[in-house]
Amino acid sequence: MAGEAERRSEWPLALSGLVAVAGLITLTFYDWRNGILIFAGGVLLAALLRVMLSDNAAGLLRVRGRMFDIVLLVGVGSAIALLGLIIPN
């Protein structure tokens, strides 16, 4: 029973990971800029989920303290999105 509850709590990481993988696929096979922005969206989605969910429900998105995780994810996601937007073709 405990294993089932633990598996259910990993959906936030799986969801943000799927968005990031979709961004990597888009980056590889289609348009690099859109792929980078989708990837950054996956990281920012992880930050949003970390803000909204409790520590137990966040699962593997919980690495350190809540504020540290949020600041790190928002910073990395914003930096990736900014770089994707400012790099010229």
Range of the domain at 19: 2-86
CA atoms within 13 A on the CB side of 52: 7
In a structure prediction context, what are the per-residue pLDDT tens digits for the chain, which is 89 residues long? 455 555 557 888 889 999 999 999 999 999 889 999 999 999 999 999 999 988 888 788 888 888 999 999 999 999 999 999 998 87
Distance of CA 67 to the CA centre of its chain: 16
pLDDT for the residue numbered 78? 95
Residue 5: other Cβ atoms inside 10 A = 9
- pLDDT tens sequence across 23-41: 999 999 998 899 999 999 9
Measured between alpha carbons, how far is 58 from 74 in angstroms, rounded to an integer?
16
Radius of gyration of the chain (CA): 14
Measured between alpha carbons, how far is 61 from 29 in angstroms, rounded to an integer?
28
The count of structural domains within the chain is 1
